[in-house]
Structure 1
Amino acid sequence: MRGSPASDGSVWARLPHELGDVVRPRIPEIARACVDGIAAEIPEYSRSFGEDPGRAVAIELTRRGIERDIDRVGTPAMWQADRLAEFRAHGREAFHNGLSREAVQAAVRVSSRVTWRWIADIAREAGLSGDVLYGAAEGMFADVETSMAAVAEGYSAAEAAMSGTGERHRRLLRALIDGRTPAEVDGLVAASGLALPPRVAAVAFRALPGAPEFPPGLLPEHVPADPSGDPSAALTPAPDTDLTGLAKLPAGWTAAVGPLVPLSSAPESFRVARRALDLSARGLLDAPGPVVWCRDHVTTLLLLADEFLVTQLAATTLEPLAGLTGRRREQLAETLLALVQTRGSAPELGRLLDLHPQTIRARLKKLAELFGEKLDDPAERLRLELALLAERALPNGD
């Protein structure tokens, strides 16, 4: 078999060190030529390899690969396992990027052909013998078969994960967030090969129209996930570690992480996460990045769990403020909230609101006229606090 010499490194080991010495300084040029050749000959690669940053990354990866191959010249070493692992990774990445198996294998052939032409020209310029050229050709073309086989293995593994294990994981995910019966879940657990944790957090995803596809590698393989499915979701027992990659979500994507709950409550965690996505889309939840953590917005999520009821609460409880003008109403509402939350004196509220105590006393007098004995009733004070917080959460009366 032609691939056997390359697999044990014997062909490259018989070549003189001089070949590696003359080729090594030219490797950056060879790498650029390989990437340009792939972009020119294979339409599926033209866009990503035709411009930065995709082209720069491809050149650097190609440079490292050629350098590692040339290091085998004159060295009786085995064909590196890590180099084969790289080709398998290329195959997996190609699948997840939507490239065809034929395209990624063609890229290996084009790169090998371009590299061989450069090596042959450099070797002739250096006056190396025809035997050296023949040996290099034999090693390179045998390596093509080995490399293409590794690429195919990686591509097939990614394909199988998507249609096999990956699909079983997604079925289990849907069963858990749908609240299926224990018997149904147990069967899917056995098929998935996953060990279910006692507690999980559900993740809900949303992509705007025109947003790019969900990037591969943002979630660990052990996390059951279907970001582009219906429902678009994931489940994790360790959100703080498993979800760090979501910080790199592309523009147009948002994720919301529900509370960490017992496994049986996964549907509730997912419901809360989807609610957080809805509120975030309306600008009612602030998040510093593309990920909304529900644990940071529990009060708002609770207040807005039923917007109709909370709007009714605000309308009826705060009715005494209805006849006031906008600015005057805002001032009294601000003071009222501070009062029901702290039960502080005028000086204490003045320090809290950065106002003169006399100003606070005037406002307290007006509030006493409007609300009377309600200000002394613990149950009424709670209603007032909830109504005022809800009003803040829905500033435009949404």
Structure 2
Amino acid sequence: MTTPSPSLPRDIATLLRPALSGLTATVTSEVRRGVPTFADEGYTGAVSDAAERAIRHFLDRIDDPSTETEPFVKYFHDLGVRDLHTERPIIEPLRAAYRLGARAAWRHAARLVHDSGVASSTLCQLGEAVFAYMDELSSLSFAGHTQSQVRHADSIERHRKELLAILVSAEHPVPATTIARLAQAARWQVPRRIAAIAIEPRSDTVAPPAHAFGNRVLADVNTASPFLLVGEDDLVVLNELTAAVPGTRAAIGPPVALRHAGESLRWARHTLRLVQCGILPNVEVTWFDRQLSTLWMLDDPMVVAEMVERALAPLNGINSRQRTKLSDTLLLALETGRDIGRMADVLGVHAQTVRYRLRQLDKLFGRQLAERETRFAIELALRAERTLRPVG
């Protein structure tokens, strides 16, 4: 801290020191009257103590510029960290108190100094020193407040990461008390059901910060596979995601109980991979529960490939373009019971073309199309093959 004013005579401190109690009372009264936060009777002692410390230190520095400042600095630095009674930050009321206190102290001191016949120039210097001193006190407390906020934010973020890791990776059920404790420390309201959102990492855009969605979302966005955990009722956050990072693709896993959050994340990531490789439509947001049949069908690619190979073996050897036409015709025939008119409308071809393709299929598959169980296997295989067909 700086000296109040190098040119202030030491006589000023000698003159004002006997008035210390009166100055303290004046400042305390003005602060409690003008700042509602400190009007409560419980603050009387704290406000009076701070005022007395500040005035005494101000006078000590006029009297002896080498006065030790470390304990004093710490005291006013810590005032900005928390409310002495409720542990809540009070930086704005505190700064208001400094301003009011400085004005009250200056008015009281100015009367005493003026009545003692001190020169007007010295009186002006004293005024400048008082308000410069007030700025120093305010800066000390604001520095304490800022550091406290940073530590508090870091602590919350650590608890959110710990909670996130537990929810998605726990192999065994985590006690509800543990979840509740971490959620409270992380400032996260525990939802009844939760859904994971897998986000496509983008090299050409900046990922949204973890705090971008507020306390309702747990986020890990700075990894190779970024994701969010969102309460089922808060999935509107997707609108904020797509607005914050246009063009980002995301997939939403199924809403589940908290203990199954890892499963929701697994399905969200699986769904996103299917979008990325062209099996599912290329849209910004893909919902797991709207792709259930596709996801079920592709849950085991090896089994699907074997089923397609066996059930659709008669189509082997046909060029890909012709195979696509015959496959689409056969699937539609199985779905409509060979309704020629409907098939022609859906396929956009003449009825004769439909009949021609059906004769080709009957020749290729023979009696297989007459057997119910075989028809079912062929239909599943056709649907799987269509699903695996890249989206155009």
Check whether TM > 0.5.
Answer: yes
Q: 2:201 corresponds to which residue?
A: 207
TM-score, normalised relative to structure 2: 0.58
Question: Which consecutive unaligned segments of at least 5 residues does structure 2 have?
Answer: 5-26, 35-90, 94-126
Cα deviation, residue 319, structure 1: 0.9
CA contact 1:179–1:266 (8 Å) conserved in 2: no
Cα deviation, residue 393, structure 1: 2.7
Q: From 137, 149, 152, give the equivalent of 1:157.
A: 149
Q: 1:392 corresponds to which residue?
A: 386
CA contact 1:227–1:233 (8 Å) conserved in 2: yes
How is 1:156-235 mapped onto 2 (pairs within 5 angstroms)? 156-157=148-149, 159-161=151-153, 163-183=154-174, 186-193=177-184, 194-209=188-203, 211-215=205-209, 217-229=211-223, 232-235=226-229
Distance 2:372 2:131 in 1: 86
Q: 2:355 corresponds to which residue?
A: 361
Call closer, same or farther: CA 1:254–1:341 in 2, change over 3 Å: same
Call closer, same or farther: CA 1:152–1:331 in 2, change over 3 Å: farther
Secondary structure in 2 matching 1:369: helix
How is 1:230-309 mapped onto 2 (pairs within 5 angstroms)? 232-237=226-231, 238-250=233-245, 253-289=248-284, 291-309=285-303
CA contact 2:251–2:269 (8 Å) conserved in 1: yes
Distance 2:190 2:336 in 1: 45
Secondary structure in 2 matching 1:362: helix
Distance 2:307 2:243 in 1: 40
Paired letter, 2:250: A
Secondary structure in 2 matching 1:228: coil
Paired letter, 2:314: P
Call closer, same or farther: CA 1:222–1:325 in 2, change over 3 Å: closer
Q: Does 1:330 align with 2:324?
A: yes
Q: Does 1:312 align with 2:303?
A: no
Q: 2:364 corresponds to which residue?
A: 370
Q: From 364, 373, 381, give the equivalent of 1:379.
A: 373
Secondary structure in 1 matching 2:199: strand
Secondary structure in 2 matching 1:182: coil
CA contact 1:340–1:384 (8 Å) conserved in 2: no
Call closer, same or farther: CA 1:375–1:165 in 2, change over 3 Å: same
Cα deviation, residue 282, structure 1: 1.9
How is 1:14-93 mapped onto 2 (pairs within 5 angstroms)? none
Question: Which consecutive unaligned segments of at least 5 residues does structure 1 have?
Answer: 11-82, 86-134
Larger Cα-atom Rg: 2
Call closer, same or farther: CA 1:376–1:174 in 2, change over 3 Å: farther
Paired letter, 1:366: Q
Secondary structure in 1 matching 2:213: coil
Cα deviation, residue 195, structure 1: 4.8
Distance 2:387 2:145 in 1: 53
Paired letter, 1:330: T
How is 1:54-133 mapped onto 2 (pairs within 5 angstroms)? none
Deviations 1:281-321, CA, capped at 9 Å, x for gaps: 223322432x3332333333222222222122212211111
Paired letter, 1:354: G
Cα deviation, residue 273, structure 1: 0.6
Secondary structure in 2 matching 1:351: helix
More displaced stretch, 280-289 vs 310-319: 280-289
More displaced stretch, 181-190 vs 258-267: 181-190
Alignment: residue pair count: 279
CA contact 2:210–2:220 (8 Å) conserved in 1: no
Deviations 1:117-136, CA, capped at 9 Å, x for gaps: xxxxxxxxxxxxxxxxxx99
Report the RMSD for the aligned CA atoms in angstroms. 4.3
TM-score, normalised relative to structure 1: 0.57
Distance 2:152 2:178 in 1: 21
Cα deviation, residue 258, structure 1: 0.6
Deviations 1:346-387, CA, capped at 9 Å, x for gaps: 112112222222211111122122223332444333322322
CA contact 1:215–1:249 (8 Å) conserved in 2: no
Query: Percent of pairs identical after alignment?
Result: 29
